[in-house]
Amino acid sequence: MISDECLVECPIDDDEDEVQLAFSAPPPPEFASKAPTPSRDPFGINQHLKVEVSDVLAEPASPHSIDQVWFYSLHGFEKTRVWSYRILSLLLAVPFALLCGVSLGLLACLHVWFVIPLGQLTHTFLPCVRSVWVCAVNVLISPVCTSLALCCSHVAIILSNKDWQPLKADKEGV
């Protein structure tokens, strides 16, 4: 049997999350506050994913089209972008979440009902297999891991401000 010393107790208290989720639904547009909403990307991690109309649609400087063309193209672009994201996330996110849930459930079941009992049986009834396994790990896997550790231990990263100077000069000129 496994001693109780290696077991870790992780209490789960989901009550706060459920209360927060219950009150986090946005109000209808007619009751929506004019106050700015908190940023969903405060650190700008997804800045490269933000697409503006001018990034996709452009017009030469000299000939200009009618203002309604730009109004309707902007309106069409924004609605298409928003609804395509919503539809794709609905079509792909739900099945992907179900697939991840099933696969993680299967892995947990296999681990609890197959891997752990097999390990216990091996340690209990087949100590010779355990010694062969330890020997195989020491002969085959340990040298590879040791070699990789030695190779990676000599990697050094040196940071300098030299590379950032032209960027600062460009910003000052603008």
DSSP 60-73: -SSS---HHHHHHH
Position 112 pLDDT exceeds 80: yes
d(CA 112, CA 118): 10
Position 9 pLDDT exceeds 90: no
How large is the greatest C-alpha to C-alpha distance in the chain, in angstroms? 86
What is the signed CA dihedral for 106, 109, 18, 33, rounded to 10 degrees? -20
Give the global pTM: 0.37
The upper half-sphere exposure of residue 11, i.e. CA atoms within 13 Å in the direction of its Cβ, equals: 2
Q: Which two tokens stand for residue 105?
A: 């459930």
Report domain extents, the chain.
67-125, 127-158
* Closest CA relative to residue 24, chosen from 34, 16, 13: 16
Q: What is the pLDDT of residues 132-159, one digit of tens each?
A: 888 999 999 999 999 999 998 888 887 7
* Closest CA relative to residue 57, chosen from 44, 70, 46, 45: 70
